[in-house]
Structure 1
Amino acid sequence: MVNVALAGATTGFGRTVLLNFLDYNKDGKHNLILLSRNAQPDLSARGIDVRPVDYANHQQLVSALEGVHTVLSVIGGGPEAMESAQLALIPACKEAGVTRFAPSEYAGRTNEGVDLYAGKEVVWKAVQTSGLEYTRFACGLFMSIMATGTPKPMTVVGEREGLKSGEEEALAGLRPWNFVINMKAGTADYPGDGTAPMVFTDMRDVALFVYRALDLESWPEELGMRGDVKSFKEVVEICEKVQGRKWLTRNNSLEELKKQSENPGKQFYNQTRVGLAQGWGMVGDELNKTFPDVKPITCEEFAEKWWSGVELDEPSWGEDVAFM
């Protein structure tokens, strides 16, 4: 048994990880602890040890981490909040005797070139010099970007979790986001010519791989996982087949994307697209090799599940991009 504490797991992607951990841990193999700023009676009722924390209170953090072996940070929110909370966690983990720590990464193989991720690099360097065992979980792009706008109804799982729509279930904690592809409008705003390969991983599969990683005796510095390897162009071809219509697409040169990055409102979107065109999203498959019995959902399966049989208008450019 591992005493594992999750930080930042009350909303968004973090909550998806936590709820899936509950499903995987029905045999009580691990003791699940939630570090939360507020009481979570619904989660306490499900057997989670909820421990209140104030990230500005070092001694309270140390006390909350007593007896914890592994800390998984899935802290989200703004860059400054993510950075400050994790920088508070790291020394508290060390003082409390925590063995392992995984920072809130869950993206590409590097954070370089994306200004919004500068805080992640600060945290990563602090982890590397902390004396804790650590790893960087990398999953490429969340496959949930293929979920925005689906009118499909919830499954039994969504009903059980009290979700409001099939879209909310498909998004799995990601906010509605038309990043490069717009599933409802049938448009794709490619980085480069859209042919760069990258990893797409469903957030529920991310949770499963991370849960299985708790069983490893030691963690290497990098633990990548791959749901599916596709280019945006290949994803569009899948969607055209599933939706039964021809999409509108456009290429964007890296020079143009870099120029557009000078606009603060579009900086993250365009810096990320440059990174993806240059291989930022092609993460490793260490966890796939370690746990070959895990069969993550593919882009085609995801598209079939959430877009097959849906009546859609002819593709049209419009408000097709959410920059943040």
Structure 2
Amino acid sequence: MPKSQRIAVAGGTGGIGNHLVDGLLELQSRSPSSISKVIVLSRSSNKPYLQSPSSELRAPVIAVDYSSVSSIANVLSEHQIDTVISTLVGEPAQFISAQENLLQAALSVPTVHRFAPSEFAPDSELIKSVPLYEMKLPILKSLREAKAQRSSSSLPFEFTKFNCGIFMNYFGFGSPKPNGSQALGHLRAFPYVVDISKGTADVPGDGNDKIWYTTTEDVGRFVAEATQLKEWPETSNMAGEAVTINEVIEKAERISGRKITPKYNTEAELLARMDPNPSTWMGNFYLDVYISIIRQEQLQETSNLNELTNVKPTTVEEFLQKWWGKEN
């Protein structure tokens, strides 16, 4: 299978999407023969382009209508895209429709031979306790059907799920460093489980279940390097480190010098905290994720991208030291 050279990132102006664009442009700058073009698909083009933080390279932002297969296909065809990476988000009905239209557009363009659906979290097919993750499943069925149909044709096609566990950047929320806000990268400010700034931790279960953590910057680097693999496995796992929440708390206390008081939650206690009538589609999402941790649904298999690429990811210790370590 040819390596990726002309890549479109759908939803690339969003949090994780922006990090993927950063990683792709960084690789393009370092190795111009690897990637020749990166474009960003967006529902609006308020930004004319995204620029690499490490070079002058830019990725144009192109407005597309995700309700129109032909609109998307025209853009992919015009730029001779060979790889489509989705980082789309949204309420379930809109999300499922947008991803399906994106795939159908990609399949209609002869140059496209690779597609990555919007995963970038724990593996959606392993998570049974989070209803919102069900919206990620229809596209996987369509992808497997497309791959099977193309297996004997002159237009080969492959896909992969990029799984990265939980974004480590959330541990940087409230960092006292002068540039502390940069710890979150392009993500919105949000403390996940452990809030070092307040000295608290809202822990699912007893805190002894291992969870995969990866920085968003490393996710971008892993994905960029994966575009240069000769073959894509259907599952591409990556991780900075697999540690328990109790280990995170211990490291955070030691490095920051702050006491962290954990609140351990049983599954029954988490269920009691659920809103019976959530006002938004995100509703009880984070509590559902907590329950999936207790039920040990977030245990990934071997992180194959750690072995297949040259990325040296940031560990939890390194991340905490950077954003919470005491000055010498």
TM-score range, shorter-chain basis? 0.7 to 0.9
Is the contact made by 1:225 and 1:283 (CA closer than 8 Å) also made in structure 2?
no
Secondary structure of 1:151's counterpart equals: coil
Residue of structure 1 equivalent to 2:20: 17
Is the contact made by 1:148 and 1:178 (CA closer than 8 Å) also made in structure 2?
yes
Q: CA deviation at 1:232?
A: 0.6
Alignment partner of 1:303 is 2:315? no
Residue of structure 2 equivalent to 1:218: 231
Residues 35-44 or 171-180, more deviating? 35-44
Residue of structure 2 equivalent to 1:34: 40
Aligned ranges 1:218-237 → 2 under 5 Å? 218-237=231-250
Equivalent-residue separation in structure 1 for 2:235 and 2:88 (angstroms): 19
Alignment partner of 1:106 is 2:113? no
Deviations 1:54-77 (A, max 9, x none): 112221211111121111101134
Deviations 1:224-270 (A, max 9, x none): 00111111110000001012132111211123323434645462122
Secondary structure of 1:255's counterpart equals: helix
Equivalent-residue separation in structure 2 for 1:172 and 1:80 (angstroms): 29
Residue of structure 2 equivalent to 1:255: 268
Q: CA deviation at 1:189?
A: 1.3
Q: Which amino acid aligns with 2:196?
A: M
Residue of structure 2 equivalent to 1:180: 193
Residue of structure 2 equivalent to 1:120: 136
Runs of 4+ residues deviating >6 angstroms:
none
Equivalent-residue separation in structure 2 for 1:215 and 1:138 (angstroms): 18
Is the contact made by 1:191 and 1:276 (CA closer than 8 Å) also made in structure 2?
yes
Residue of structure 1 equivalent to 2:65: 54
Is the contact made by 1:8 and 1:73 (CA closer than 8 Å) also made in structure 2?
yes
Alignment partner of 1:206 is 2:206? no
Aligned ranges 1:141-160 → 2 under 5 Å? 141-154=166-179
Is the contact made by 2:49 and 2:60 (CA closer than 8 Å) also made in structure 1?
no
Is the contact made by 2:19 and 2:219 (CA closer than 8 Å) also made in structure 1?
no
Query: For structure 1, which runs of at least 5 residues remain unmatched after alignment?
Result: 155-165, 311-324
State, as a whole percentage, how many aligned pairs show the same letter.
Answer: 34
Deviations 1:269-311 (A, max 9, x none): 22101111233333230101112x321111111111111238x
Equivalent-residue separation in structure 2 for 1:185 and 1:262 (angstroms): 25
TM-align CA RMSD: 2.0
Q: Which amino acid aligns with 1:217?
A: K
Secondary structure of 1:294's counterpart equals: coil
Using the size of structure 2 for normalisation, the TM-score is: 0.84
Alignment partner of 1:88 is 2:106? no
How many pairs align? 297
Alignment partner of 1:246 is 2:236? no
Using the size of structure 1 for normalisation, the TM-score is: 0.85
Equivalent-residue separation in structure 2 for 1:114 and 1:253 (angstroms): 17
